[in-house]
Structure 1
Amino acid sequence: MTYKDEKRGTWYCKFYYIDWTGIRRQKMKRGFKLQREAKEWERIFLEKQSGSPNMTFQALYQLYLEDIQSRLKRSSVNSKSQCVESRVLPFFKDKPINQITAADVRKWQNRLIEDGLKPTTQRNINGQLNAILNFAVKYYGLPQNPCKVAGLIGSSKPKRMQFWTHEEFKTLIACVKNPTHHILYSILYYAGLRCGEALALTPADIDLEKKVIHVTKTFHRIHGEDVITSPKTTNSIRTVPIPDFLCDQIRVYILETYGMKKSDRLIPLVNTSIRIPLNNVCDRAGVKQIRVHDIRHSHVSLLIEMGFPAILIAERIGDTVDMVNNIYGHLYPNRHEEVADMLQALVSK
């Protein structure tokens, strides 16, 4: 039931429910501006408690969200929730999950395609809906997942990456006047860090005597809050040797940044504030625009061009050898003819 709080001028709901142990309990929630908001909150709460396949998609989503919050990193949960709440929830929100058909899913998929989203984005969003409905099949009695009948959309393979040659990077970096952006681009290009890893660095993470960067964490901005978490994978925790000139650049940058402490973030930027300045300096330098993450790809391209093997590159950038071969394999020269020539030379001796 909903009631008006005359003193506060707001609405609240107060009702009984049976919890998972079979005990009858009372629930009250205050602070709603509108009566319909209080009723909606009560409805969703009771649907979640019932956990039946006729609950609405929104109630299922709340259960799914509560489940993954204890299992995934906060940044991963935030990424999933942003995707679902912007692209999935508006379409399926009030529909009982046992009434969602494959035809409904196809109609929703067609909207994603019509919106002109990238194939990889389409595939990711479709995967979020699929995961939520799989959750319902496994734990809440949904007979089958209509996503499996509807099929996939989009592609799991992104377009071929872009990267800078070393000459292009030198042209670009010469045009960067902001010292913070200058050191960021240099670390991304010459050390191959992910952007979040670079943004999480502190002076204490960099041993200028041993000439190494210790990568142990990553940075995210979540709902306006700066959040430092462990890196993407266990492989991401690594020590990256860096050249003398990069050590010198970092040393000068720290000395010239007033009041920087060992525990301060070396590069106090957020992910979303980097792309536009990068595009602007690309235009000034006459260098093609690439994504921030493609600077890391440029580092790998440089190492491949220098002849380093996949296993060393994987260790340096915090990935697996399989990942390096899958993503960058096309950059390695085809040496099959060289193998044949060397075998011929061996036999001809």
Structure 2
Amino acid sequence: MAAFKNKDNGIWYVQFRYTDWKGERQQKLKRGFPTKRDALAWEREFLMQKQADINMTFENFVQLYERDMKPKLKLNTWLTKESIIQKKILPYFKSRKLSEISAKDIMDWQNEMRELSDESGKSYSPTYLKTIHNQLSAIFNHAIRYYGLQINPAAKAGNMGVEERREMLFWTKDEYLKFADAMMDKPLSYYAFEMLYWCGIREGELLALTAADFDFQAEMVSINKSYQRLKGQDVITTPKTKKSNRVIKMPEFLCEEMQDYLKMFYSAGTDERIFPISKHYLKHEMERGCKATGVKKIRIHDLRHSHISLLIDMGFTALAIADRVGHENIDITYRYAHLFPTRQTEMADKLNTERKGA
């Protein structure tokens, strides 16, 4: 890409060749830009529009979709999208012209998806059906927003499936302490679960922690990255959302525990992961602890639920909790309120006292 300045009047222009969607070479000249930046911005927009045509095949448009979207997304997010596109969408639509795919075609595809099953022979869950439909709809929306498509046939056909909220399991403090006692035979496991339960951090945030993230004088831990295992490689990414970048105040006992842990294994100030383990390892250790103690089995992420539930029970506001755990929206935090139905009894008892004392 290049822009040129007219020496006579100081106005910028662009002149370039491009290959259109038919594979034919074309030339373009556009004058009248006040700055080089404006000229280059126009050229980028022009190329984006001209390289696509709504009569191109769906498969070719997906290549443009990838070019546009992949740089904006985290690698793990794109890989999830890519898997759905390659396995569930392209096999059905790849040879069709983008502009000729109708709502009826989408409905036929939906019916076929409903008939499929996973490796264990179970039909796809309503949540997964909704996820793959949303991805197809997102591709058409992209075509409408940037490439001139007029109608989203996936939206016209209507949604497939529904989002199912998983049951929020959690441990009470007593259940966690019982479990933690069983973990003390393996310091690495014990301290990992201590961070998960008492700070409410996500699993990926835990596995990305380094010694440099801790400020023991201020009793703080900085959450500014996340760990993923992608295609056999350890990958450190930014946290899940903008709000996930946060500094958490640790309880005094946890600061002491983590200082002991770092002294056992690591030199202060290193940038190496202090929990060089996998998510599979943590899952195995949780299963071991549950089996040894009889505590009900929950998922690793449910330790985050447990932390939030504990804070709710201690009387902290949803706003304060959302800030601590990095919820992007306070409404997410409100979803946890039902985990302590005994609050209703407490309210009723206090109202009864108020009425009798009147």
Per the normalisation by structure 1, the TM-score is 0.77
- The structure 1 residue matched to 2:294, chosen from 277, 286, 309, is 286
CA offsets 1:128-184 (integer angstroms, 9 cap, x no match): 111011112233343321111221122234132111122222222223344333222
Is 1:330 paired with 2:345?
no
1:185 corresponding residue in structure 2: 193
Q: Is the 8 A contact 2:266 2:274 kept in 1?
A: no
1:30-179 equivalences under 5 Å are: 50-114=51-115, 115=117, 116-176=123-183, 177-179=185-187
1:41 corresponding residue in structure 2: none
Structure 1 residue identity aligned to 2:166: K
Shift of 1:126: 1.5
In structure 1, what is the Cα distance between the partners aligned to 2:287 and 2:86?
Answer: 29
Q: Is the 8 A contact 2:312 2:337 kept in 1?
A: no
In structure 2, what is the Cα distance between the partners aligned to 1:167 and 1:340?
Answer: 29
1:269-280 equivalences under 5 Å are: 269-280=277-288
Structure 2 residue identity aligned to 1:155: V
Q: Is the 8 A contact 1:220 1:270 kept in 2?
A: no
Report SS of the residue matched to 1:313. Answer: helix
2:39 corresponding residue in structure 1: none
Report SS of the residue matched to 2:182. Answer: coil
In structure 2, what is the Cα distance between the partners aligned to 1:248 and 1:71?
Answer: 40
Is 1:242 paired with 2:243?
no
Report SS of the residue matched to 2:72. Answer: coil
Runs of 4+ displaced beyond 6 Å: none
Is 1:311 paired with 2:319?
yes
CA offsets 1:216-250 (integer angstroms, 9 cap, x no match): 22222232332222222222122211123322322
Counterparts in 2 of 1:210 and 1:142: CA distance versus 1, 3 Å:
same
Report SS of the residue matched to 2:159. Answer: coil
In structure 1, what is the Cα distance between the partners aligned to 2:25 and 2:193?
Answer: 54
In structure 1, what is the Cα distance between the partners aligned to 2:238 and 2:232?
Answer: 19
Shift of 1:121: 2.4
Q: Is the 8 A contact 1:300 1:313 kept in 2?
A: yes
Structure 1 residue identity aligned to 2:239: P
Count of residue correspondences? 307
In structure 1, what is the Cα distance between the partners aligned to 2:298 and 2:237?
Answer: 26
In structure 2, what is the Cα distance between the partners aligned to 1:219 and 1:54?
Answer: 41
Report SS of the residue matched to 2:73. Answer: coil
CA offsets 1:243-282 (integer angstroms, 9 cap, x no match): 2332232222222226686211111124455334433443
In structure 2, what is the Cα distance between the partners aligned to 1:103 and 1:218?
Answer: 42
Counterparts in 2 of 1:266 and 1:127: CA distance versus 1, 3 Å:
same
In structure 2, what is the Cα distance between the partners aligned to 1:142 and 1:282?
Answer: 54
Unpaired runs of at least 5, structure 1 = 1-15, 24-47
| Mean CA deviation greater in 171-180 or 295-304 | 171-180
Report SS of the residue matched to 1:158. Answer: coil
1:252 corresponding residue in structure 2: 260
Shift of 1:345: 7.7
In structure 1, what is the Cα distance between the partners aligned to 2:138 and 2:191?
Answer: 40
Q: CA RMSD in A?
A: 2.9
CA offsets 1:100-148 (integer angstroms, 9 cap, x no match): 3323322333344442233322222211111011112233343321111
Counterparts in 2 of 1:203 and 1:340: CA distance versus 1, 3 Å:
same
Q: Is the 8 A contact 1:166 1:302 kept in 2?
A: yes
1:218 corresponding residue in structure 2: 226
In structure 2, what is the Cα distance between the partners aligned to 1:227 and 1:316?
Answer: 25
Q: Identity over aligned residues, as a percent?
A: 35
Structure 2 residue identity aligned to 1:90: P
Structure 2 residue identity aligned to 1:109: Q
Unpaired runs of at least 5, structure 2 = 1-21, 30-48, 118-122
In structure 2, what is the Cα distance between the partners aligned to 1:87 and 1:238?
Answer: 37
